[in-house]
């Protein structure tokens, strides 16, 4: 078995954080599915890179420039073709897992990050246009996005809540899912219909935390670099267990509602002095997903050591976040800063992507 298949037996799904026509048309995605990749995520940055670099979009884009006056509709036409194709590739995984796995994520326009009603309307519109059951609509974990997520869950729309950077973000999203699921069931909805994940971003957390620690320049601070994101993720998993294996979710679980799995995002290592699997090996555990960029996936396949480590060092993780607070580095404040920056970066990438359509 590949390491991905071994991880699946352990209870963790590995998704690919990259979608392009190169992967679809050159057989790369089909090969990765055979090796154990069981889902895929996308975002405006990924699509900007794909459209600008791949020759497979050129003819279609030229035709759209002649037939479709709106650059956003041109983008949508191109991207939805890729999303549908990816959904079809993963449908056997979706069917074999009875809807637990095999999903493809598509993001709403980043300009709607602070617009609850707009996000709800756009999510429903995109879901209808794609027309595939194994689609997750990506909604940002801003306060307005979380409110939209709750409403979408209450209407049976499957969602990937993205741009989460703190324990506080994660807990708010989990609680919104539970409220939305209760509303869905109260309205007579099928519990098996619900599916949601919570995407916790990792490498960006270390990048910012390390910057703050470097500025302090004390031996203690320098020793703490590169540890914040994994500590946060381990504690987020404990919050997941508390909620979804506890009293708050018991009634929904008995009714057949799935828990909202944590998805480790931004899992490619940005600091070259750190392990290329820093956000992979320590976070292997059941009822989780890790979405990996191509290079990180290659590293996992080449030299990854598969073992359940997610619940190792939880006390150390707690102590690390406490020490950060004592150093006047608030993980919650880092999360708020990173979320604002994340929304801005995705909005910039989206604007650049639309500019390519002109």
Residues labelled catalytic: 138
Q: 3-state SS of 266-309?
A: CCCCCCCCCCCCCCCHHHCCCCEEEEECHHHHHHHHHHCCCCCC
Here the tokens at position 332 are 């919650």
| Burial tier of 342 (Cβ tally within 10 Å: 0-12, 13-18, 19+) | buried
Q: Give residue for tokens 């679809």.
A: 24
Here the tokens at position 41 are 């995520």
Here the tokens at position 95 are 């069917």
C-alpha distances out from residue 144 to 111, 125, 356, Å: 12, 18, 29
**What CA–CA distance (Å, rounded) separates 118 from 96?**
34
């Amino acid at each position: 078995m590949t390491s991905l298949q071994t991880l699946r037996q352990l209870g963790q799904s590995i998704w690919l954080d990259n979608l392009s026509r190169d992967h679809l048309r050159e057989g790369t995605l089909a090969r990765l599915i055979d090796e154990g990749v069981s889902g895929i995520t996308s975002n405006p940055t990924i699509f900007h890179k794909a459209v600008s670099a791949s020759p497979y979009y050129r003819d279609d884009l030229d035709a759209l420039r002649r037939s479709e006056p709106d650059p956003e509709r041109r983008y949508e036409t191109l991207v939805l073709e890729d999303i549908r194709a990816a959904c079809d590739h993963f449908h056997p995984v979706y069917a074999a897992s009875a809807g637990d796995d095999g999903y493809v994520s598509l993001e709403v326009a980043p300009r709607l990050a602070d617009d609850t009603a707009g996000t709800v309307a756009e999510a429903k519109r995109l879901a209808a246009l794609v027309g595939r059951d194994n689609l997750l609509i990506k909604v940002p974990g801003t306060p307005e996005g979380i409110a939209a997520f709750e409403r979408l869950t209450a209407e049976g729309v499957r969602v990937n809540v993205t741009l989460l950077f703190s324990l506080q973000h994660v807990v708010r999203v989990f609680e919104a899912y539970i409220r939305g699921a209760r509303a869905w069931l109260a309205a007579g909805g099928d519990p098996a219909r619900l599916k949601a994940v919570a995407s916790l971003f990792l490498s960006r957390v270390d990048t910012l935390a390390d910057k703050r620690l470097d500025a302090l320049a004390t031996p203690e601070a320098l020793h703490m670099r590169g540890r914040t994101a994994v500590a946060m993720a381990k504690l987020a998993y404990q919050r997941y267990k508390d909620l979804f294996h506890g009293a708050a979710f018991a009634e929904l679980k008995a009714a057949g509602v799935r828990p909202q799995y944590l998805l480790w995002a931004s899992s490619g290592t940005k600091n070259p002095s750190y392990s290329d699997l820093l956000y992979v090996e320590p976070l292997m555990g059941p009822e989780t997903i890790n979405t990996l960029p191509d290079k990180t996936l290659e590293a996992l396949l080449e030299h990854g050591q598969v073992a359940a480590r997610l619940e190792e060092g939880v006390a150390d993780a707690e102590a690390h976040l406490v020490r950060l607070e004592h150093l006047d580095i608030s993980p919650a404040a880092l999360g708020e800063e990173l979320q604002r920056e994340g929304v801005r970066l995705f909005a910039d990438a989206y604007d650049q992507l639309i500019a390519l359509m002109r």
